[in-house]
Amino acid sequence: MTITRLPDFPWDTLADVAAKARAHPDGLVDLSVGTPIDPVPTVIQEALTGAAWIPGYPTTHGTPELREAAAGALERRHGVHVDPVDVLPTIGSKELVAWLPTMLGAGAGDLVVIPSLSYPTYEAGARLAGAEVLRADSTVAVGPAKPKLVWLNSPSNPTGQVLPPEHLRKVVDWARERGVVVVSDECYLTLGWETAPVSVLHDSVSGGSHEGLLAVHSLSKSSCLAGYRAGYVTGDPALVARLLAVRKHAGMIVPHPVQAAITAALDDDEHVAVQKTRYAARRAVLRPALAAAGFTIDHSEAGLYLWSTRGEDAWATADWLADRGILTAPGTFYGPTGDRHVRVALTATDERVAAAAERLLA
């Protein structure tokens, strides 16, 4: 029996650095994981509890109300039009990322292209399917190969880089010429700071057709729903239908109460704006403090992180910050070329962010 060889889980390797940071006399400032720490908005909590009485099995495809809410939010927030029937709720976005290559039929001998610096689950998902992985930031680097699928992530985790529409369009055109599926992870699309991120499904990128395209969305960051496991995928009707058929067989179903919560979150834009304001305020404190401490911030024009370097080995920087009680993620978690950066998350309370800034400026 062949056992899938997966990369080491990166967070398991952070234990020693984390222990050093926790030992700081004024307490830990954890800026390592992008886990929301602000309360779930009341409108979403009420929707969740209001659906707690429903006894039957939920539908894999989601309620019509959820699908219509997702389509409406995409139109209002991002200028993207999708048919509600082409929306499929997911149990958060991570499980979809991990199993998507398998669900799309990737296997031994197939190639999955991921960004050179990227969310580790892209690689893990390809490995679970038995496929090979190529880290490439341009289609030129792919060469003559015909991948099974190409992952995009804009705004990027970890770098916060935003790919302009013309770059995205080149990837889409390249993929369509070869019959390759493009999957865009758009979990940070609402968090543009110095530029406005664009969805791969936007007409300026897609040319008005979603053929061969999928966009993955999460409510973890924009609506503080990491604990709810709330996401969805949309795009090419044929691809969404294929995913729906597989997920029906596999029992990958979002619970009724969570579906109600997703619907409420997607129908309400106010809490999204409030949360973005919170992240912006924390960013305004951390960024100048890092710069004053000798860091250079690269990219980071959007998203939930500051991609930071002191021009030294990433683990040395993580250790230097841990001496000050600040825990960050070494850039090597996201690919070999991240070896001189750390990822600094905006997901700590205002008080902890202020403490981090004070320690950086000391």
Q: How far apart are CA 89 and CA 230, in angstroms?
A: 8
DSSP result, 169-234: HHHHHHHHHHT-EEEEE-TTTT-BSSS----TTSHHHHTT--TTEEEEEESTTTSS-GGG-EEEEE
Confidence of residue 4 (pLDDT cuts 50, 70, 90): low
Distant-in-sequence, close-in-space partners of 250: CB < 8 Å, separation ≥ 6: none
pLDDT for the residue numbered 331: 96
Measured CA to CA in angstroms, residue 22 lies from 17, 26, 282 at distances of 9, 9, 21
Same fold, 10-39+271-361 and 55-268: no
Confidence of residue 1 (pLDDT cuts 50, 70, 90): very low
pTM over 0.85: yes
- Residue 40: is its pLDDT beyond 50? yes
For tokens 């979150």, the residue is: 265
The ranges assigned to domains in the chain are: 10-39+271-361, 55-268
Report which of 138, 186, 141, 142 is spatially closest to residue 162, judged by C-alpha positions.
Answer: 186
Confidence of residue 138 (pLDDT cuts 50, 70, 90): confident
Express each pLDDT in 145-188 by its tens digit: 899 999 999 999 999 999 999 999 999 999 999 999 999 999 99
Q: What is the mean pLDDT of the chain?
A: 95
Q: How far apart are CA 105 and CA 226, in angstroms?
A: 28
Tell me the CATH number for domain 55-268. 3.40.640.10
- Residue 58: is its pLDDT beyond 90? yes
Domain 10-39+271-361 has CATH 3.90.1150.10: yes
Sign of CA dihedral 10, 15, 20, 24: positive
